[in-house]
Amino acid sequence: MKTNDVIFQTVAKVVFFMIIFFAVHLFFAGHYYPGGGFVGGLLTSGALVLLLLAFDMKTVQRGFPVDFKWLIGIGLLFSIGTAAGSLLFNVPFFTHAYNYFQLPLFGKTSLHTAMLFDLGVYLVVIGVTMTIIQTIGESE
Amino acid sequence: MIEIVLQISLLLLAASMLGLVYRLVKGPTVPDRVVALDAMGVNLVSITAVLSMLLHTSNYLDVILLIGILAFIGTVAFAKFLEKGEVIEYERDR
């Protein structure tokens, strides 16, 4: 039986960007407000799951030609790199550093190396979730 | 004054949640239960909003949006499973 779900596909295309923007907001707000890498990554993979529901696996893989297993490795590399980078400055493992910078668009902003660690968590969560879902969905 | 109003509204929301639980348990068909779960998600959103007003905090506002998104994705997944028998298909129109 062929089904025609135009409404769902159109809604999914719009809502996908809303969820992605909300996930990015949660990711960047994580230092001062509730949120962070874990929730942001989970919500990003939720947006990708919405696309998987609206379309099919092949279309989504063509739209995002990313092997999600690589994201796990890249994320772990980011986290361990941030943790090991502190060894270069003769401070204990996992010591973070921060400073205030004058950015052109944002004004005075505090940049923290914990954000890089959080980026690793974000990528690992996306990779793990999408790998699990794609592996389960592919089996026929 | 506003606290009493908020507490009364929490009580009413809890009562409507109980009605939805009744439909969830009793519902003769599966779509009845899915719609009850979706409405429970909406109720949960309003309970979180009222609670964040009662606690004088704005930190729960992210949770509201999160519950809305998750309820939407969950309901859509259930609906697709009921219609096609599989949630994520490999290739459409085959």
Q: Tell me the C-alpha distance between B33 and B25, whole Å.
A: 8
Which chain A residues touch B73 with a CB distance below 8 Å? 46, 49-50, 53
Q: By the 8 A CB rule, do A107 and A101 touch?
A: no
Question: CB A89: neighbour CB atoms within 10 A?
Answer: 8
Exposure of A5 by Cβ count < 10 A (0-12 exposed, 13-18 middle, 19+ buried)?
middle
Whether residues A46 and B76 touch (CB distance < 8 A) is answered with no
Chain B residues touching chain A at CB-CB below 8 Å: 59, 62-63, 65-66, 69-70, 72-73, 76-77, 80, 83-84, 87-93
Asked which of A106-120, B38-52, B71-85 is least confident by mean pLDDT, the reply is: A106-120
What pLDDT, on a 0 to 100 scale, did the predictor assign at position A128?
95
pLDDT digits (tens, 9 = 90+) for A39-92: 999 999 999 999 999 988 888 889 889 888 999 999 999 999 988 888 888 888
Whether residues B76 and A49 touch (CB distance < 8 A) is answered with no
Query: Which of B60, B83, B89, B94 would best serve as a mutation to test chain A binding (most A beta carbons within 10 A)?
Result: B89
Mean of per-residue pLDDT scores for chain B: 91
Residue A42's closest CA among A69, A20, A63, A68? A20
What pLDDT, on a 0 to 100 scale, did the predictor assign at position A108?
81
What pLDDT, on a 0 to 100 scale, did the predictor assign at position A89?
86
pTM value? 0.88
Whether residues A138 and B77 touch (CB distance < 8 A) is answered with no
Which residues are within 8 A (CB) of A17 and not within 5 positions of it... i.e. 6 or more apart?
A: none
Exposure of B93 by Cβ count < 10 A (0-12 exposed, 13-18 middle, 19+ buried)?
exposed
Q: Tell me the C-alpha distance between A78 and A37, whole Å.
A: 13
pLDDT digits (tens, 9 = 90+) for A16-40: 999 999 999 999 988 888 888 899 9
Q: How far apart are the first and last CA of chain A?
A: 19
